[in-house]
Structure 1
Amino acid sequence: MASNKSWSFVAVASSAILMTMLAVTARADGALQYDFYNATCPGVEDLVRAELKAKFAADVTLPAALLRLHFHDCFVRGCDASIMLKSHNGTSEQDADPNSTVRGYEAIEDIKAKIEATCPLIVSCADIMAMAARDAVYFSEGPDYQVETGRRDGNVSILEEALQFLPPSDGNVTVLTQFFAVQNLTMKDMVVLSGAHTLGIAHCPSFSKRLYNFTGAGDVDPTMDPAYAKNLATVCSTPADNVASVQPLDPVSPAKFDTGYYQSIYAHQALLQSDAALLEDSLTGAYVQLMNNATYLDTFFADFAVAMINMGRAGVRTGVDGEIRDTCGVYID
């Protein structure tokens, strides 16, 4: 059970206060800025949103995929679209096991092609990915926050770095905090950004150990709600169930961006061990307990917007560093 200890997380969140928070957290060095493309490619954010609206209508699972794609990109070499790069010999980030179920590449390429037809070699793939993640949240009934832009694309993508820097699905709070700290993200950023799991699914191999062999003795994770664990076992019928079998990360409201993720954790119905771990720490557990109350939805929205902006600054390339490609998924070998 989470303690009552808090980080003074409670806040009154309105659209005006949210924009103030975003302004306060804006970078002082000007490396990224709002409306970066106003003069060079006016209307690009509207174009991205219009394209995504149509794509999301055709594929209701795409918002979660694009949000995850942005996360997995930013945690390896920073937000530089390096995850988009391809390899003929299986050595790029895309080829790493944690990225084996990542998708959404084609949607980013389609949007890039539309932009190139209007503003050739102006808008980076990294910025398109940041806009797409924001719009994925917006079209899932989440907050509509402003994205800093001005990123340039990297041209290096290494499989081993994805293995090294992507947070593990079975990590505890100490481990997760360390992975986020590498990206200059705080523990609060970590517990808030974990809320992105209110969208999307996980494949059986990422949580089957909790059902069949948690301690190595063929047991079930004792922190899981027994009825929930039994239901999961009907989907993942064996410890080695194939990757095609999936479950929603948020069983409360899997297609809506809200606090259902935290409600499921509080009810001991977290799918991943790393999600369940948030309830066991006094600080992250306090946030989970707070967000178990749906009246704090606006607080979560404000916190998430700020945390996404913080993450979007990770390892960015700006100015003359990096490149602007006409295609995001070029081969690097």
Structure 2
Amino acid sequence: MASRLSLLVLLLVVAAASATLTSTAAQLQYGYYNTTCPGVEDLVREELLAMFAADMTLPAGLLRLHFHDCFGAGCDATLLLKSHNGTAQRDADPNSTVRGYEAIEAVKAKVEAACPLVVSCADLLAMAARDAVNFTQGPAYQVETGRRDGNVSRKEDAERFLPPADGNVTVLTQYFAAQNLSAKDMIVLSAAHTIGAAHCPSFSKRLYNSSGAGDQDPAMDPAYAKNLTAACPPGNVASVQPLDPVSPNRFDLDFYKSVANGTALLGSDAALLEDSLSFAYVQLMTNDSYLDTFFADFAASMINMGRIGVRTGADGEIRDTCAIYVD
């Protein structure tokens, strides 16, 4: 009952601000920096491509970084802010394994050298996520820009608004609805897990205490579960496993195929089979002939996500360094 109540409060709070969110999102535009910092998106892409070539795990990290920033308190780069007393968003448990901060800082330094105090850290996060998807053979799409950076970062925002890794479809849909995103956005954006990895604690409950009785999630393929228990014995917090066991560094439909055959790593991904709408989409996307459809859907949902709680115009700031201390 308490969790239902908290979700209801979450929905009501964000619904009250929805008109404002829609208004500010409308101020974003494609090519916002064409005059004030020409070529900045190419500069960002070139810098990131060199980093990606050196670290194939970085694209997934930057995609997740953008997601966690947007859901935490809006797409305003407040996830990048630091706190001396452990009260910033990046100090929250859901963000404990988020990475890519240094890459954004390095790109920001290059951008500042070209165009001082023009391009926001929030826009760099959106560009980096876009380039991460495309580098891993995902869709090429444009991003709206014109965001400004926030200067308040609260740990409780991340703890309150980030969807749980073991949430079912009803819970996930509520968290996405609270951000003005549709059920389809939730289903499509879940496929960001076609790249990257997760630490053992993110899925260990499925292996050792699925229903609270010390059991294993019966939805998991037995052979897959056996491999996971060998890699993640009880108490292991450091090891990681690929979210997509087939092609963890390639943006493709293998995520949905894994969900369909019981080899989804996270409970929230496996839960897509428990709802008629998400089940139908998963089944459709196990057919490679729908890859272009998925790419178009994913690009559209990323644009929608990039509009969450944006700051534009006189609201917010442009920082010369993204990861500053705020206390």
TM class by shorter chain equals over 0.9
2: CA distance, partners of 1:186 / 1:285: 16
Letter in 2 for 1:228: Y
Is 1:241 the counterpart of 2:236 in the alignment? yes
Name the counterpart of 2:191.
Answer: 195
The counterpart of 2:58, out of the listed 56, 59, 62, is 62
| Correspondence 1:81-96 to 2 at 5 A | 81-96=77-92
| Correspondence 1:163-202 to 2 at 5 A | 163-202=159-198
Does the residue aligned with 1:38 lie in a helix, a strand or coil?
Answer: coil
1: CA distance, partners of 2:311 / 2:213: 47
Does the residue aligned with 2:198 lie in a helix, a strand or coil?
Answer: strand
The counterpart of 2:248, out of the listed 225, 250, 254, is 254
1: CA distance, partners of 2:24 / 2:112: 30
After superposition, give the CA deviation of every residue in 1:274-294 in whole Å (9 maximum; x if it has no partner): 000001100001000001111
Aligned length: 306
The counterpart of 2:158, out of the listed 154, 162, 171, is 162
Moved more, 40-49 or 211-220: 211-220
Does the residue aligned with 1:202 lie in a helix, a strand or coil?
Answer: strand
Letter in 1 for 2:95: N
Name the counterpart of 1:53.
Answer: 49
2: CA distance, partners of 1:216 / 1:185: 31
Does the residue aligned with 1:103 lie in a helix, a strand or coil?
Answer: coil
| Correspondence 1:260-275 to 2 at 5 A | 260-275=254-269
Does the residue aligned with 1:164 lie in a helix, a strand or coil?
Answer: helix
CA drift of 1:27 comes to 8.8
Moved more, 58-67 or 213-222: 213-222
Q: RMSD value over aligned CA atoms?
A: 1.2
Kindly indicate whether the alpha-carbon contact (under 8 Å) linking 1:252 and 1:263 is maintained by their aligned counterparts in 2: no
1: CA distance, partners of 2:23 / 2:78: 23
After superposition, give the CA deviation of every residue in 1:163-192 in whole Å (9 maximum; x if it has no partner): 000000010000000100111000000000
After superposition, give the CA deviation of every residue in 1:125-184 in whole Å (9 maximum; x if it has no partner): 000000000000010000000000000000010001110000000100000001001110
Is 1:312 the counterpart of 2:306 in the alignment? yes
Letter in 2 for 1:79: C
Name the counterpart of 2:320.
Answer: 326
Judged with a 3 Å threshold, the aligned counterparts in structure 2 of structure 1 residues 230 and 92 are, in CA distance, closer, same or farther, namely: same
2: CA distance, partners of 1:71 / 1:216: 30
CA drift of 1:253 comes to 1.0
After superposition, give the CA deviation of every residue in 1:24-66 in whole Å (9 maximum; x if it has no partner): xx99974100000000000000000000010001111000000
CA drift of 1:315 comes to 0.4
Does the residue aligned with 2:269 lie in a helix, a strand or coil?
Answer: helix
Is 1:227 the counterpart of 2:217 in the alignment? no
| TM-score, normalising length: structure 2 | 0.92
The counterpart of 2:105, out of the listed 83, 88, 109, is 109
The counterpart of 2:124, out of the listed 128, 147, 158, is 128
Name the counterpart of 1:75.
Answer: 71
The counterpart of 2:133, out of the listed 130, 137, 142, is 137
- List alignment gaps of at least 5 residues for structure 2: 1-21
| TM-score, normalising length: structure 1 | 0.90
Judged with a 3 Å threshold, the aligned counterparts in structure 2 of structure 1 residues 236 and 308 are, in CA distance, closer, same or farther, namely: same
Does the residue aligned with 2:293 lie in a helix, a strand or coil?
Answer: helix
Q: Between the two proteins, what is the percent identity of the paired residues?
A: 73
| Correspondence 1:283-302 to 2 at 5 A | 283-302=277-296
Moved over 6 A (4+): 26-29
Letter in 2 for 1:233: T
Is 1:33 the counterpart of 2:29 in the alignment? yes
1: CA distance, partners of 2:94 / 2:308: 19
Kindly indicate whether the alpha-carbon contact (under 8 Å) linking 1:153 and 1:322 is maintained by their aligned counterparts in 2: yes
